[in-house]
Structures are given as C-alpha cells and as structure tokens.
Amino acid sequence: MKKIILALMLGLLIVSVVACKTAVPKPEVVIFNDAVLEARIRVIMNTPTGDILVSEAEKISELDLSEANPSVPSARIKDISALKYFKNLRGLNLSYQLVEDLSPLANLTELNMFGYWGAASLKNFDGLANLTNMLDINISSYNEGIGTNFTDSDLAYFANMTNLEAITLQGSKITDLSPLANLSKLRKLNIDYSDISDLSPISEMTSLVEMDLKYTNVSELGPLENFVKLQDLWLEGCPITDYSPLTAIYPNLVHKDFSID
C-alpha cells in the first residue's frame, strides 16, 4: 500500500513539474508612469481599458502626442518612460508637452522623425545618441525670448545621423556647427534665434536648399557663396553689413528677406 501511495505522489510530482515547464508565460504589459501619456496612447490605440501588451505597442509605428491647443491650460505629458516599449516607432511628435528627459528614446533605433516644438522644458538629450536612422529632427522653442537648453554637446549626437535631411533647432544654444559637416544628405537647416556666428564648418554643404539664420550672430556670408542649390534663405536680424558673397546665388533664391542692389 505504501508503495502505491509513493508511486502516486511521485506521479503527481512529475505531472506538476511538466506543467510548470510547459506553462504559457504571462504576456508583458506596458507600464505607464504618466497618466496623461497613458490617456493619449489609449485613445490612439483604441484601448480605453485593460492592459496594453508590449506586443501591441511594438506594432505602433507613429505617435502624435503633440498638444493641439498649447495656449489653453491643460495637463501635459512629463514622463515618457513608457515609450521604451514602442520600439518600432518611426515617427514621434511631443510638441508643447513638458518632457524634461529624452533618455527613454535611447533604444528606439527605428525612429526617423522626431518633432518637439515648445521644447523649453527639455534638459536631457542623451536619448538621441543612438538614433542613427533619423531623417527629420525638430527641437525648437522661442516663446517670449525663452529658447531651448540644446547645446553643442547635444549637437554632437547628430554627427552619426548621416541620413539626416532636415534639422530645425530654433532657439538653441549651439555655437559650433562642426558636427554637421559630413551630413551630405541635409537639405534643410533652420537654426534661427540660436547663438551661431560661424558658418565656415558647413561651407561644403552645398546641397542645402533651405536655411533659416534669422536673429543669429552670423555676420560673414562667405561660406555660403557656392550654395547654388539654395532656394530659401532668411537672414533678418543678423549683424550683416556685406551681402556681396551671395551675389552669384541671389538669382536662385525663391524666398528671402533681404535684397542685393
């Protein structure tokens, strides 16, 4: 009798071990630390209640999380840590939110479009370091004289974004354009209201089509004299006294805010 009981117990033990080994793992879910972000994403994904699975998040390729009415007081997104689960994102817009830290974007290596107007709250840009597939990036703010905290050390991340076609950094604190020197695909460079004064680091970027240099410290235009593809050039508010270096390309300019007699 004892032998039978022992055999039964052993059988039950084996069954339980096998069951444990073959149990289906519980699906991983997205953890939100920001109620506003969660609410916006639930609307986008049409998931008003219940868990959002990581497998579902990985199917999302674009998130427009911009604030539609920035002048109207409302709750804003501050913590984007949950975006780390959306690893296949290609487009992301955070305009007019109150995000301070972009580090959750570090592993979103498929991202090729990032937009953030009204980015005065941003303090940590380290999440940009690995985003080498970027095509179009906009980190801008200049509202009532308040710009962004984007500096030369942050611009250094752009050196590895060799596919970049458009850069908008309105209101930045950058002073050195050297990290952009080898971005041969760049067509648009908008750095108005920044601290830039020297254009010589980009003198070989003659494929540029659009440049906005309004209210920068640029005074010498010699580096632009061979920019024959340039169609739009904005120079209002710059301390420029001599426009003659642009004489040859002036007829090509479709949109401009200056004249050469």
Cα–Cα–Cα angle for 170, 189, 142, rounded to 5 degrees: 5
pLDDT (tens digit per residue) in 70-118 = 889 999 999 999 999 999 999 999 999 999 999 999 999 999 999 999 9
DSSP 3-state of 232 = strand
Phi then psi for residue 152, to 5 deg, are -60, -35
In the structure, what pLDDT confidence band is assigned to residue 24 with cuts at 50, 70 and 90?
Answer: low
- Category of 28 on φ-ψ map: left (φ > 0), alpha (ψ -120 to 50) or beta: beta
Cut 0.85: pTM above it: yes
pLDDT (tens digit per residue) in 200-233 = 999 999 999 999 999 999 999 999 999 999 999 9
Structural domain boundaries of the chain? 39-196
CATH class of the 39-196 domain in this structure? alpha beta
Q: What is the DSSP letter of 49?
A: S
Closest by CA position to 199, among listed 228, 170, 219:
219
CA atoms within 13 A on the CB side of 85: 17
How much is the mean pLDDT over the chain?
Answer: 92
